[in-house]
Chain A
Protein backbone atom coordinates (compact mmCIF):
# COMPACT_ATOMS: atom_id res chain seq x y z
CA UNK A 1 0.00 0.00 0.00
CA UNK A 2 1.45 3.35 -0.97
CA UNK A 3 -0.03 5.17 2.03
CA UNK A 4 2.38 3.22 4.16
CA UNK A 5 5.21 5.09 2.43
CA UNK A 6 3.80 8.58 2.36
CA UNK A 7 4.89 10.81 5.16
CA UNK A 8 7.25 8.17 6.46
CA UNK A 9 10.88 9.21 6.14
CA UNK A 10 12.90 6.33 4.78
CA UNK A 11 15.97 7.26 6.80
CA UNK A 12 14.88 7.26 10.40
CA UNK A 13 18.38 6.51 11.72
CA UNK A 14 19.95 9.63 10.25
CA UNK A 15 20.76 13.09 11.55
CA UNK A 16 17.66 15.21 12.07
CA UNK A 17 18.73 17.44 9.17
CA UNK A 18 19.35 14.54 6.80
CA UNK A 19 17.77 15.35 3.46
CA UNK A 20 17.09 18.97 4.35
CA UNK A 21 18.47 21.75 2.16
CA UNK A 22 20.53 23.99 4.39
CA UNK A 23 22.57 27.15 4.30
CA UNK A 24 25.93 26.51 5.89
CA UNK A 25 27.98 29.55 6.86
CA UNK A 26 31.59 29.09 7.86
CA UNK A 27 33.72 31.01 10.32
CA UNK A 28 35.73 32.26 7.35
CA UNK A 29 32.60 33.82 5.79
CA UNK A 30 32.05 31.24 3.08
CA UNK A 31 28.47 30.20 2.38
CA UNK A 32 27.30 26.89 0.97
CA UNK A 33 23.78 25.76 0.15
CA UNK A 34 23.18 22.06 -0.14
CA UNK A 35 21.40 19.00 1.08
CA UNK A 36 22.54 17.98 4.54
CA UNK A 37 23.58 14.35 4.47
CA UNK A 38 25.29 13.53 7.74
CA UNK A 39 27.78 14.56 10.36
CA UNK A 40 30.57 12.34 11.65
CA UNK A 41 34.15 12.55 12.88
CA UNK A 42 35.28 13.85 9.50
CA UNK A 43 32.83 16.71 9.52
CA UNK A 44 29.56 17.87 8.04
CA UNK A 45 28.69 16.28 4.70
CA UNK A 46 26.60 18.19 2.19
CA UNK A 47 25.38 16.95 -1.19
CA UNK A 48 24.46 18.83 -4.38
CA UNK A 49 26.13 21.98 -3.14
CA UNK A 50 25.93 25.53 -4.39
CA UNK A 51 28.84 27.75 -3.46
CA UNK A 52 28.31 31.46 -2.93
CA UNK A 53 30.79 33.49 -4.93
CA UNK A 54 31.08 36.95 -3.35
CA UNK A 55 32.39 38.41 -6.62
CA UNK A 56 28.96 37.92 -8.20
CA UNK A 57 26.89 39.82 -5.63
CA UNK A 58 25.74 39.72 -2.06
CA UNK A 59 25.02 36.65 0.02
CA UNK A 60 21.42 37.80 0.38
CA UNK A 61 20.97 38.06 -3.38
CA UNK A 62 22.51 34.62 -3.84
CA UNK A 63 20.18 33.10 -1.27
CA UNK A 64 17.16 34.91 -2.72
CA UNK A 65 18.01 33.54 -6.16
CA UNK A 66 18.44 30.06 -4.70
CA UNK A 67 15.07 30.25 -2.98
CA UNK A 68 13.30 31.41 -6.13
CA UNK A 69 15.02 29.43 -8.85
CA UNK A 70 16.64 26.61 -6.93
CA UNK A 71 20.22 25.78 -6.19
CA UNK A 72 22.75 25.74 -8.99
CA UNK A 73 24.98 22.83 -8.09
CA UNK A 74 28.65 23.74 -8.15
CA UNK A 75 29.97 20.67 -6.34
CA UNK A 76 28.39 17.24 -5.96
CA UNK A 77 29.54 16.92 -2.36
CA UNK A 78 31.64 18.65 0.26
CA UNK A 79 32.80 17.83 3.76
CA UNK A 80 33.49 20.63 6.19
CA UNK A 81 35.45 20.29 9.38
CA UNK A 82 33.15 21.02 12.34
CA UNK A 83 35.51 23.76 13.51
CA UNK A 84 34.83 25.58 10.22
CA UNK A 85 31.08 25.59 10.63
CA UNK A 86 29.60 28.77 12.07
CA UNK A 87 25.92 27.90 11.61
CA UNK A 88 23.60 25.65 9.67
CA UNK A 89 20.11 26.90 8.83
CA UNK A 90 17.44 25.17 6.75
CA UNK A 91 16.99 27.16 3.55
CA UNK A 92 13.25 27.08 4.11
CA UNK A 93 13.74 29.04 7.34
CA UNK A 94 15.95 31.75 5.90
CA UNK A 95 14.33 35.17 6.06
CA UNK A 96 15.37 37.49 3.27
Chain B
Protein backbone atom coordinates (compact mmCIF):
# COMPACT_ATOMS: atom_id res chain seq x y z
CA UNK B 1 0.00 0.00 0.00
CA UNK B 2 1.44 3.39 -0.91
CA UNK B 3 2.61 5.71 1.82
CA UNK B 4 0.78 8.90 2.62
CA UNK B 5 1.29 11.36 -0.22
CA UNK B 6 2.33 14.08 2.20
CA UNK B 7 5.15 11.89 3.51
CA UNK B 8 6.64 11.26 0.10
CA UNK B 9 6.08 14.73 -1.32
CA UNK B 10 9.50 16.03 -0.17
CA UNK B 11 11.15 12.98 -1.73
CA UNK B 12 9.45 13.73 -5.03
CA UNK B 13 10.34 17.41 -4.79
CA UNK B 14 13.96 16.58 -4.14
CA UNK B 15 14.09 14.76 -7.46
CA UNK B 16 12.36 17.53 -9.37
CA UNK B 17 14.67 20.15 -7.87
CA UNK B 18 17.70 18.32 -9.23
CA UNK B 19 16.16 18.36 -12.69
CA UNK B 20 14.48 14.97 -12.91
CA UNK B 21 11.24 14.54 -14.77
CA UNK B 22 8.70 12.61 -12.76
CA UNK B 23 6.89 9.82 -14.58
CA UNK B 24 3.74 8.89 -12.73
CA UNK B 25 1.69 7.09 -15.39
CA UNK B 26 2.28 4.34 -17.91
CA UNK B 27 1.81 6.70 -20.88
CA UNK B 28 4.39 9.07 -19.40
CA UNK B 29 6.84 6.19 -18.99
CA UNK B 30 6.29 5.00 -22.53
CA UNK B 31 6.68 8.50 -23.89
CA UNK B 32 10.03 8.88 -22.14
CA UNK B 33 11.49 5.39 -22.49
CA UNK B 34 9.94 4.13 -25.68
CA UNK B 35 12.28 4.70 -28.61
CA UNK B 36 14.68 6.42 -26.22
CA UNK B 37 17.59 8.23 -27.88
CA UNK B 38 20.76 9.65 -26.39
CA UNK B 39 21.67 9.27 -22.73
CA UNK B 40 19.10 8.92 -19.99
CA UNK B 41 19.21 8.06 -16.31
CA UNK B 42 16.18 6.45 -14.70
CA UNK B 43 16.03 6.80 -10.92
CA UNK B 44 13.74 4.38 -9.12
CA UNK B 45 12.83 6.41 -6.07
CA UNK B 46 11.95 4.83 -2.75
CA UNK B 47 10.70 5.81 0.67
CA UNK B 48 13.23 3.67 2.53
CA UNK B 49 15.61 5.95 4.35
CA UNK B 50 18.23 3.23 4.67
CA UNK B 51 19.19 3.53 1.01
CA UNK B 52 17.08 6.16 -0.75
CA UNK B 53 18.08 8.71 1.87
CA UNK B 54 21.61 8.37 0.48
CA UNK B 55 20.72 7.75 -3.15
CA UNK B 56 18.95 11.04 -3.81
CA UNK B 57 21.73 13.27 -2.46
CA UNK B 58 24.24 11.06 -4.27
CA UNK B 59 22.51 11.63 -7.56
CA UNK B 60 22.24 15.35 -6.87
CA UNK B 61 25.99 15.48 -6.30
CA UNK B 62 26.73 13.37 -9.36
CA UNK B 63 24.63 15.59 -11.60
CA UNK B 64 27.00 18.46 -10.82
CA UNK B 65 29.68 16.57 -12.75
CA UNK B 66 30.67 17.90 -16.16
CA UNK B 67 29.62 14.67 -17.85
CA UNK B 68 26.08 13.62 -17.12
CA UNK B 69 23.01 12.14 -18.80
CA UNK B 70 21.06 14.31 -21.19
CA UNK B 71 17.85 13.44 -19.42
CA UNK B 72 16.97 12.28 -15.91
CA UNK B 73 13.60 10.71 -15.21
CA UNK B 74 12.20 9.13 -12.07
CA UNK B 75 9.46 6.79 -11.01
CA UNK B 76 8.48 6.18 -7.41
CA UNK B 77 8.45 2.54 -6.31
CA UNK B 78 5.69 1.70 -3.88
CA UNK B 79 3.86 4.88 -4.84
CA UNK B 80 3.29 5.04 -8.57
CA UNK B 81 2.92 1.31 -8.92
CA UNK B 82 1.92 1.00 -12.57
CA UNK B 83 4.44 3.54 -13.78
CA UNK B 84 7.24 1.81 -11.86
CA UNK B 85 6.24 -1.61 -13.14
CA UNK B 86 6.19 -0.30 -16.69
CA UNK B 87 9.57 1.38 -16.34
CA UNK B 88 11.08 -1.86 -15.08
CA UNK B 89 9.92 -3.60 -18.22
CA UNK B 90 12.44 -1.49 -20.11
CA UNK B 91 15.27 -3.09 -18.12
CA UNK B 92 13.71 -6.47 -17.47
CA UNK B 93 17.06 -8.29 -17.33
CA UNK B 94 17.61 -6.62 -13.98
CA UNK B 95 15.76 -7.72 -10.88
CA UNK B 96 13.62 -5.01 -9.27
CA UNK B 97 15.04 -3.14 -6.32
CA UNK B 98 14.55 0.32 -4.97
CA UNK B 99 16.15 2.68 -4.90
CA UNK B 100 18.05 1.79 -8.02
CA UNK B 101 19.42 3.56 -11.07
CA UNK B 102 19.38 2.51 -14.69
CA UNK B 103 21.69 4.30 -17.10
CA UNK B 104 20.48 4.05 -20.67
CA UNK B 105 21.91 4.97 -24.01
CA UNK B 106 19.70 4.71 -27.08
CA UNK B 107 17.33 2.45 -25.21
CA UNK B 108 19.98 0.01 -23.98
CA UNK B 109 21.02 -0.37 -20.35
CA UNK B 110 24.71 0.47 -20.15
CA UNK B 111 25.01 0.46 -16.36
CA UNK B 112 22.77 -0.46 -13.46
CA UNK B 113 23.11 0.54 -9.83
CA UNK B 114 21.20 -1.82 -7.56
CA UNK B 115 20.03 -1.02 -4.08
CA UNK B 116 22.80 -3.14 -2.58
CA UNK B 117 25.36 -0.85 -4.24
CA UNK B 118 23.90 2.11 -2.36
CA UNK B 119 23.12 0.72 1.08
CA UNK B 120 25.47 1.72 3.84
CA UNK B 121 27.51 4.00 1.59
CA UNK B 122 27.76 7.74 1.90
CA UNK B 123 26.21 9.98 -0.76
CA UNK B 124 29.72 11.11 -1.65
CA UNK B 125 30.89 7.56 -2.26
CA UNK B 126 27.86 6.67 -4.35
CA UNK B 127 28.19 9.93 -6.27
CA UNK B 128 31.81 9.09 -7.02
CA UNK B 129 30.78 5.75 -8.48
CA UNK B 130 28.06 7.42 -10.52
CA UNK B 131 30.38 10.04 -11.98
CA UNK B 132 32.83 7.29 -12.98
CA UNK B 133 29.97 5.60 -14.80
CA UNK B 134 28.95 8.91 -16.40
CA UNK B 135 32.49 9.37 -17.70
CA UNK B 136 32.66 5.79 -18.95
CA UNK B 137 29.30 5.57 -20.65
CA UNK B 138 28.34 9.16 -21.41
CA UNK B 139 31.71 10.77 -21.94
CA UNK B 140 32.75 11.89 -25.37
CA UNK B 141 35.11 9.44 -27.06
CA UNK B 142 38.45 11.01 -27.97
Bound: A72/B92 CA distance, A: 12
Q: Does B49 lie within 8 Å of A71, measured CB to CB?
A: no
B residues 52-85 in Cβ contact with A at 8 Å: 53-54, 56-57
A: interface residue count bin: 20 to 34
The verdict on B106 contacting chain A, using a C-beta distance below 8 Å, is no
Count of B interface residues, CB-CB < 8 Å: 29
Say which residue of B48, B53, B115 sits within 8 Å of A6 (CB atoms). Answer: B53
The verdict on A8 contacting chain B, using a C-beta distance below 8 Å, is yes
Query: Given A67-B116, A92-B120, are A9 and B97 also a contact pair (CB < 8 Å)?
Result: no
User: In chain B, what residue has the closest Cβ to A5?
Assistant: B10
The secondary structure that dominates the A interface is loop
Q: Does A90 lie within 8 Å of B10, measured CB to CB?
A: no
Which of B14, B17, B57, B116 has the largest number of chain A CB atoms within 10 A?
B116
Q: Does B53 lie within 8 Å of A9, measured CB to CB?
A: yes
Interface mask (B101-130 → A, CB under 8 Å = 1, otherwise 0): 000000000001011110111010000000
The verdict on A80 contacting chain B, using a C-beta distance below 8 Å, is no
A residues 28-76 in Cβ contact with B at 8 Å: 67, 69-73
The verdict on B93 contacting chain A, using a C-beta distance below 8 Å, is yes
Q: Which residues of A contact B57 (CB under 8 A)?
A: 6-7
Interface mask (A10-21 → B, CB under 8 Å = 1, otherwise 0): 110000001111
Q: Does A69 lie within 8 Å of B53, measured CB to CB?
A: no
Q: Does B48 lie within 8 Å of A19, measured CB to CB?
A: yes
Q: Which residues of A contact B115 (CB under 8 A)?
A: 21
Q: Does A70 lie within 8 Å of B53, measured CB to CB?
A: no
Q: Which residues of A contact B94 (CB under 8 A)?
A: 69-70
The verdict on A27 contacting chain B, using a C-beta distance below 8 Å, is no
The verdict on A96 contacting chain B, using a C-beta distance below 8 Å, is no
The verdict on B4 contacting chain A, using a C-beta distance below 8 Å, is no
Interface residues of A (CB under 8 A from B): 1-11, 18-21, 67, 69-73, 90-92
Interface residues of B (CB under 8 A from A): 10-11, 13-14, 17, 47-51, 53-54, 56-57, 93-97, 100, 112, 114-117, 119-121, 123
